[in-house]
């Protein structure tokens, strides 16, 4: 494996005559598979909130099938074959209350055995050789899913990690432990997502449609007077490319970066949204594989536009409301992959006006916002009713947010320097963390349970990398060339994804609490994550903690109705339980604080 310098990458791209060079030397320009479809001719779909299927032992229980189906994404496009949760794209909203556990079963048994896209067996996780001493079959199943509950403080077995996959036939990955994922919700309010995370094919599964919304609502949130009901709208921003028959276009062989030429919002191509002249809340999620969105509201006649008021980042709340627009705190809202933002927009002075949500982030994203090949996403049309609509929601300029107390640097037990770099391996571009691969045991760091650490994330590549840590939220305490510049105004709250620009160091601080065990941290560009920009960290008991393995909690049961649950055992594991030998020993990971008091579990100042 040979390292690539940034200069080498740029020279390689120039030699190949490529516009918009990708950081790995395996570039693909944003695909144009179809003549352009007419924009803003269909309404924006609003995902429905999913009700629990039943209550088991006082806990709401969800049975969510993962299926293949067809869905019409544009009036002039034939129906598109997709994969989705509950038979829809995107998946439904799962809304929970802070400190109230829910259990979820994601059942993929109805999926076909053949993937929608070609599976490239050069990528880790797709071949038996990637699982030493674990498998006695000739092939790893082509179709595998593992649903990650993004941003949640959760036990490793319920996290939905890349090695915890299962196939429709019941073959399971080496870290698959249980059918039902237990979600304690002992943490800050959250406008989050659930999405696929299966090793080596995450990019394919998410592109096929496997993403949905997960919300945690807190009492402090309900007391703010935010717009609610039909005036509270989630927006999943994605890009796709289509063939003439309506099918999704994706390369047959691995490419290090990929983007479509068509905006898809909540499962609709270039939709329009009709709003009343009043305040709305929008929960924005960048759910694309690798495209960044730098968002603005623009008027069709270049007239004034309403200000966006951001109240929350990935988790919790900001220190104070951040205004976004011309001559405001920020002039635009930048979201790299799987970053989120909650904003309030007041349309009350704009009856009869039309606005477009635009994007000027370049692709591939290297920190430049000078114009995009996908420059329009959604159109918003404000009605002009004869009577002013009632609006009991609070003026966003007057909202006193609960804020985020953050973590204390005096408590820091360890500062770790983490790097991002690129290389060529057998002619295939690869992004890496700490010059290591996922199964490099020497690369596993071991923070202690309850400890506070600073991670210095240094990006030595030409590509912006959105870095995500499972298990924890974190505080951005510095960015810039040496990590000492102030974070952006809308980063002054709890995050779980942070962008790191080329030649930049971003410093984050977090506390590893409530659970021990092994979790991943990775770049959230899905092509980078698949190959091979993901490493584990392992939360270990502190010296004064019990080193033994406590009895595992009672299993929450299996998928399916309770009167049938006992008829089927858990899916067969092909090979031994626990992760591969090179991933360290396993049994049920130690758990600490799982049943602890909510105030401790959710952390000080996290609402």
How far is 160 from 150, CA to CA, in rounded Å?
9
pLDDT surpasses 70 at 21? no
DSSP helix/strand/coil, 280? strand
**Which residue do the tokens 């096929």 mark?**
208
Q: Is the peptide bond before 520 cis (omega within 30 degrees of 0)?
A: no
pLDDT surpasses 80 at 91? yes
Please state whether beta strands 190-196 and 293-299 pair in parallel, antiparallel, or not at all (unpaired). unpaired
- Average model confidence (pLDDT) across the chain: 88
Of the candidates 149, 125, 128, the one whose C-alpha atom is nearest the C-alpha of residue 198 is: 125
How far is 133 from 149, CA to CA, in rounded Å?
29
pLDDT (0 to 100) of residue 607: 76
Residues 535-568, buried b or exposed e (16+ Cβ, 10 A)? bbbbbbebeeeeeeeeeeeeebbbbbeeeeeeee
If you average pLDDT over residues 558-578, what whole number do you get?
47
pLDDT surpasses 70 at 82? yes
If you average pLDDT over residues 547-552, what whole number do you get?
40
pLDDT surpasses 60 at 445? yes
Cα-flanking dihedrals φ and ψ of residue 92, to 5°?
Answer: -70, 165
Task: Confirm if 316 and 493 have CB atoms less than 8 A apart.
Answer: yes
Of the candidates 164, 175, 172, the one whose C-alpha atom is nearest the C-alpha of residue 570 is: 172
pLDDT above 90 covers a percentage of the chain that reads: 79
Please state whether beta strands 475-478 and 412-425 pair in parallel, antiparallel, or not at all (unpaired). unpaired
pLDDT (0 to 100) of residue 16: 26
pLDDT surpasses 80 at 208? yes
**Which residue do the tokens 């070609």 mark?**
118
pLDDT surpasses 90 at 605? no
CA distances from 454 to 362, 414, 537 (A): 31, 7, 14
3-state helix, strand, coil in the chain (%, to 5): 10, 35, 55
Strand partners, 536: 520
pLDDT (0 to 100) of residue 600: 37
pLDDT (0 to 100) of residue 425: 84
The DSSP symbol for 269 reads E
pLDDT (0 to 100) of residue 559: 81
DSSP helix/strand/coil, 232? strand
**Which residue do the tokens 């599976």 mark?**
119
For residue 179, what are its two tokens? Answer: 């059918």
Task: Confirm if 240 and 248 have CB atoms less than 8 A apart.
Answer: yes
Cα-flanking dihedrals φ and ψ of residue 275, to 5°?
Answer: -125, 160
Task: Confirm if 189 and 216 have CB atoms less than 8 A apart.
Answer: yes
If you average pLDDT over residues 386-408, what whole number do you get?
96
If you average pLDDT over residues 171-198, what whole number do you get?
96
pLDDT surpasses 50 at 347? yes
How far is 22 from 312, CA to CA, in rounded Å?
32
How far is 524 from 499, CA to CA, in rounded Å?
9
CA distances from 441 to 446, 579, 583 (A): 11, 12, 6
Q: Which residues contact 412 (CB under 8 A, 6 or more apart)?
A: 452, 453, 454, 509
Cα-flanking dihedrals φ and ψ of residue 212, to 5°?
Answer: -155, 180
Strand partners, 381: 274, 354
* DSSP symbols for 155-166: -GGGS--TT--B
pLDDT surpasses 90 at 569? no
Q: How many of the other CB atoms lie within 10 Å of CB of 16?
A: 10
pLDDT (0 to 100) of residue 603: 45
pLDDT-derived band at 217, boundaries 50, 70, 90: very high
What does the radius of gyration of the chain's CA atoms come to, in whole angstroms? 23
pLDDT above 70 covers a percentage of the chain that reads: 83
Residues 25-34, buried b or exposed e (16+ Cβ, 10 A)? bbbbbbbebb
Task: Confirm if 119 and 203 have CB atoms less than 8 A apart.
Answer: no
Q: For the whole model, what pTM was predicted?
A: 0.90
pLDDT surpasses 50 at 371? yes
DSSP helix/strand/coil, 367? coil
How far is 461 from 423, CA to CA, in rounded Å?
10
If you average pLDDT over residues 138-166, what whole number do you get?
96
pLDDT surpasses 50 at 271? yes
The widest CA-to-CA distance across the chain, in whole angstroms, is: 72
If you average pLDDT over residues 490-507, what whole number do you get?
98
């Amino acid at each position: 494996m040979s390292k690539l310098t940034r200069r080498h990458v740029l020279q390689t791209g120039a030699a190949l005559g490529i516009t918009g060079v990708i950081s790995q030397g395996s570039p693909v320009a944003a695909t144009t598979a179809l003549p352009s479809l007419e924009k803003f001719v269909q309404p924006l779909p609003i995902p429905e909130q999913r009700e629990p299927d039943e209550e088991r032992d006082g806990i709401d229980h969800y049975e969510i099938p993962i299926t293949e189906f067809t869905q019409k994404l544009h009036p002039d496009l034939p129906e598109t074959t997709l994969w989705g949760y509950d038979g829809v794209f995107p998946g439904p909203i799962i809304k929970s209350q802070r400190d109230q556990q829910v259990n979820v079963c994601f059942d993929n048994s109805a999926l076909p055995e053949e993937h929608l896209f070609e599976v490239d067996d050069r990528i880790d996780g797709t071949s038996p050789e990637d699982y030493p001493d674990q498998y006695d079959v000739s092939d790893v199943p082509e179709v595998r899913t593992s649903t990650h509950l993004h941003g949640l403080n959760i036990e490793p077995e319920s996290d939905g990690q890349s090695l915890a996959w299962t196939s429709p036939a019941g073959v399971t990955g080496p870290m698959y432990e249980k059918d039902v994922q237990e979600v304690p919700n002992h943490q800050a309010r959250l406008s989050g997502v659930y999405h696929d995370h299966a090793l080596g094919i995450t990019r394919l599964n998410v592109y096929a449609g496997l993403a949905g919304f997960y919300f945690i609502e807190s009492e402090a949130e309900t007391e703010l007077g935010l717009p609610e009901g039909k005036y509270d709208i989630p927006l999943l921003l994605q890009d796709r490319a289509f063939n003439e028959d309506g099918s999704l276009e994706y390369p047959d062989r691995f490419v290090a970066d990929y983007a479509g030429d068509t905006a898809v919002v909540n499962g609709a191509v270039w939709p329009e949204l009709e709003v009343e002249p009043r305040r709305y809340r929008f929960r924005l999620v960048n759910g694309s594989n690798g495209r960044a969105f730098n968002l603005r509201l623009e008027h069709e006649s270049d007239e004034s536009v309403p200000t966006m008021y951001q109240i929350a980042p990935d988790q919790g709340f900001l220190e104070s409301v951040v205004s976004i627009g011309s001559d405001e705190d920020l002039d635009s809202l930048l979201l790299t992959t799987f970053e989120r933002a909650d904003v309030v927009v007041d349309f009350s002075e704009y009856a009869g006006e039309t606005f477009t949500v635009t994007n000027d982030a370049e692709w591939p994203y290297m920190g430049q916002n000078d114009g995009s090949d996908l420059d329009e996403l959604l159109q918003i049309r404000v009605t002009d009713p004869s009577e002013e609509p009632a609006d009991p929601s609070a003026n966003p300029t007057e909202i006193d947010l609960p804020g985020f107390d953050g973590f204390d640097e005096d408590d820091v037990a360890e500062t770790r320097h983490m790097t991002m770099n690129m290389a060529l391996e057998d002619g295939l571009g690869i992004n890496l963390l700490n010059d290591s691969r996922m199964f490099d045991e020497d690369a596993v760091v071991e923070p202690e349970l309850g400890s506070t650490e600073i991670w210095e994330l240094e990006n030595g590549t030409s590509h912006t990398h959105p870095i995500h840590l499972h298990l924890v939220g974190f505080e951005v305490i510095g960015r810039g060339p040496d990590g000492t510049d102030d974070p952006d105004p809308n980063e002054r709250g709890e995050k779980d994804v942070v962008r790191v620009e080329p030649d930049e160091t971003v410093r984050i601080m977090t506390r590893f609490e409530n659970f021990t065990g092994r979790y991943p941290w990775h770049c959230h560009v899905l092509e980078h994550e698949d190959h091979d920009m993901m490493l584990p960290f392992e939360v270990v008991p502190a010296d004064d903690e019990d080193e033994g393995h406590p009895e595992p909690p009672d299993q929450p049961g299996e998928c399916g109705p309770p009167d049938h649950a006992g008829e089927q055992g858990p899916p067969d594991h092909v090979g031994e339980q626990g992760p591969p030998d090179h991933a360290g020993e396993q049994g049920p990971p130690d758990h600490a604080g799982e049943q602890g008091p909510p105030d401790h579990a959710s952390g000080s100042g996290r609402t």
